[in-house]
Structures are given as structure tokens and as C-alpha cells.
């Protein structure tokens, strides 16, 4: 009989926390006790396995004794409670950015770098949702042809800002539909309904935003390519829960669309579309990264040129489109998959 785990979920009433509960149930993780926590106590606030569970207020004492603790709340909670929980022997899976770039702490996508999980690791940050989608799509290409550079433009859903972001989008859309004045934006820099906002996070002195810096740093770490050139432009769009990305990449060696197609079709956690398009609405509620519109970038050559290597279909420059559900593969599902990986490796005794 499978070991029955004692699991706590901090931030259980938020968008990611509720999705973690749903994914744990869907994937039939062997849980003996599940305890939902929040910033304050609430009676019957979350559902798990057909029952409405009370949410308890999180503090150091109440979280002690759980084998697995998921954090789906703000960075303050992770920073306050996670180190002591790890010290006491718990496995902590943290959806905040607090520990992602910490030395000696693995940043894991189970389909991308499962080998980074070693015995003795107990703290597991969940990577930036956009970087998860990106790296899942890039791994097969890295493995078959190497990567020299990656440029990405992202189109990120309101859910990336949590339940408050979803609520603000809905409020804006309702006001626009009814011809009313929209309430002042509180979560996004400007109104999101009928709009796109090319800013996610604060800008640094070079003009890059916090989200853009995270994508670059975390992509290098998860792909084990510390010198990889990565440049991102991140844009918030009026979409509910799925992030989309246009990726422009250069491989280390010349290859073909056919070779990369074969690699992507065999890639773990990827649904590859040889033809047509795939949109955010289509992938809501799914747990894989969808890749479409793979193509070689056209060569630039003098008009009098006759034949080159690229005439044979080989190049190092490619473009593709990818989409993934931010709440699921970009957060909750990846968190639960980390727990499943720990169980598969026998690290959770």
C-alpha cells in the first residue's frame, strides 16, 4: 500500500492553492491528511475530495509536523516559515520566487531537469510560470542541436497576478461591456480589458522588468546553460489563465525543421502541432506545453546568390509559438509533479 502523506498547503484559498488541491486529487496522490492554511482562519473555505475543509491561520507552530508543505502564498510566508520547516525535516515546495536562485537549491521542471533532484534536497522552489513553459519547449531542442541564444516575447494571462489579477480583469471587462467607468487599476499598471501592457514587474536601470530578469536567470539555471544568451519582453494580455510565447532561437549547430519537429514530438510534457495554431483558450485546464508554428527563419542573402547550406534546409535560426496553462503547468501541476518525482526517487520515506 502506498505511503499516506501528511500534507499542508499554505495559501489554499488563492488561485494557485486551490489548483494544487485540485491537481493532488486528480493525480490520486496518496494523502492521509491534508491541511489547508491561509493568512486567517475560515470555516469550510476549500474543497478536497468532495469535502469542504476549514482553513487554519498559518504560523510556525501550526505548520510543524507535516511531511510535505506547499507554499502558494506570498514571498513573506515562504521566507518566514520555509527554512525552519526544512531544518525540521519537511519537504517544502514553494511557488514564490524567494529561493529560486539560491545556491545549492534545485529549480526543477520534472520533464526538463529531474536529475537536479538529489538525496538531501528538501527545498524545492517552483520556477517562474513563463520560464517553465519556455524551458519545457526548449529542452528537446537543446538536447538535439544545442542552444546559443534565446529571445522570447511573452503574452501573459491575468492569473499570473493571482486571484486579484483575475478579479481585476473581470471587473474591467464588466465595466467596459456596460459602458461604465472602470475602477482605478490596483494590480496592473494600467487597465487590462481591451488592452495589452508591456510591463510585468518593476523596471531596472537598463529598462528590463523584474519578470524579464526572472525568465533569463531561471532559464539558464534550469537548462544548465549558465552562459546562454536570453532576452525577454513580457506583456500582460486580457487572457484568463494561459501564457503564450513567441520564441526566436539560435542553435549551436545547423539543423532542420524536420529534426527539431521529431525532437519536439518526442519531448516529455509537450503537445506538438505540425499544422495550424493553438490558442490560450484551447489549453486552459491542461497540463502540457503546446508548441506550434515551428519554422526556420528565412536567410538573408544577396539577390544574385545561387546556393548555400540553407538551400538544403539547414540553419541555426528558428521560431516557434508555445502556450501553457499558467495555473497548472506553470504553477500547481509542476509543484505536484515535484512531489511525485520525490516519491519516485524514494526520497520521501
Q: Which three cell numbers stand for residue 132?
A: 517553465
Contact 191, 206 (CB under 8 A): no
Q: How far apart are CA 261 and CA 284, in angstroms?
A: 24
Q: Is 243 a catalytic residue?
A: yes
CB atoms within 10 A of CB 44: 10
Ranges assigned E (strand) in the chain: 5-10, 31-38, 42-48, 51-57, 68-71, 91-94, 123-125, 149-156, 229-236, 242-255, 270-272, 289-296, 315-325
Please pick, among 135, 191, 243, 322, the residue that the annotation labels catalytic. 243
Q: Is the dihedral of CA 15, 240, 22, 42 positive or negative?
A: positive
Ranges assigned E (strand) in 58-114: 68-71, 91-94
CB atoms within 10 A of CB 210: 16
Q: Is 135 a catalytic residue?
A: no
Q: How far apart are CA 47 and CA 96, in angstroms?
A: 23
- Contacts of residue 3, defined as CB under 8 A and 6 or more positions apart, other chains included, come to 30, 343, 348
CB atoms within 10 A of CB 317: 16
Please pick, among 129, 273, 290, 322, the residue that the annotation labels catalytic. 129
Residues labelled catalytic: 129, 243
Amino acid at each position: 500500500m502506498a505511503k499516506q502523506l501528511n500534507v499542508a498547503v499554505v495559501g489554499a484559498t488563492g488561485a494557485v492553492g486551490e489548483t494544487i488541491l485540485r491537481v493532488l486529487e486528480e493525480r490520486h496522490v496518496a494523502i492521509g491528511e491534508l491541511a489547508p492554511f491561509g493568512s486567517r482562519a475560515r470555516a469550510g473555505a476549500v474543497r478536497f475530495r468532495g469535502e469542504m475543509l476549514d482553513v487554519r491561520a498559518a504560523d510556525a507552530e501550526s505548520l510543524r509536523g507535516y511531511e510535505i508543505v506547499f507554499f502558494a502564498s506570498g514571498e513573506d510566508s515562504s521566507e518566514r516559515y520555509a527554512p525552519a520547516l526544512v531544518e525540521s525535516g519537511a519537504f517544502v515546495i514553494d511557488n514564490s520566487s524567494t529561493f529560486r536562485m539560491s545556491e545549492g537549491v534545485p529549480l526543477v521542471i520534472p520533464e526538463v531537469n529531474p536529475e537536479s533532484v538529489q538525496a538531501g534536497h528538501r527545498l524545492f522552489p517552483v520556477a517562474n510560470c513563463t520560464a517553465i513553459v519556455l524551458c519545457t519547449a526548449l529542452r528537446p531542442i537543446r538536447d538535439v542541436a544545442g542552444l546559443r541564444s534565446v529571445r522570447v516575447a511573452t503574452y501573459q494571462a491575468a492569473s499570473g497576478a493571482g486571484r486579484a489579477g483575475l478579479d481585476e480583469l473581470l471587473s474591467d471587462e464588466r465595466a467596459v461591456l456596460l459602458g461604465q467607468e472602470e475602477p482605478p487599476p490596483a494590480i496592473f499598471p494600467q487597465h487590462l480589458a481591451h488592452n495589452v501592457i508591456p510591463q510585468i514587474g518593476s523596471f531596472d536601470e537598463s529598462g528590463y522588468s523584474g519578470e524579464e530578469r526572472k525568465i533569463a536567470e531561471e532559464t539558464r539555471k534550469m537548462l544548465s546553460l549558465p552562459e546562454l544568451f536570453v532576452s525577454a519582453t513580457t506583456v500582460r494580455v486580457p487572457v484568463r489563465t494561459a501564457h503564450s510565447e513567441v520564441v526566436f532561437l539560435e542553435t549551436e549547430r545547423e539543423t532542420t525543421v524536420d529534426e527539431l519537429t521529431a525532437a519536439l514530438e518526442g519531448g516529455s510534457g509537450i503537445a506538438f502541432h505540425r499544422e495550424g495554431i493553438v490558442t490560450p483558450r484551447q489549453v486552459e485546464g491542461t497540463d502540457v506545453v503546446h508548441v506550434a508554428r515551428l519554422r526556420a527563419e528565412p536567410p538573408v542573402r544577396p539577390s544574385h546568390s545561387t546556393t548555400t547550406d540553407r538551400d538544403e534546409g539547414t540553419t541555426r535560426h528558428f521560431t516557434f509559438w508555445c502556450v501553457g496553462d499558467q495555473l497548472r503547468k506553470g504553477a500547481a501541476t509542476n509543484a505536484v509533479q515535484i512531489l511525485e518525482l520525490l516519491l519516485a526517487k524514494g526520497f520521501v520515506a
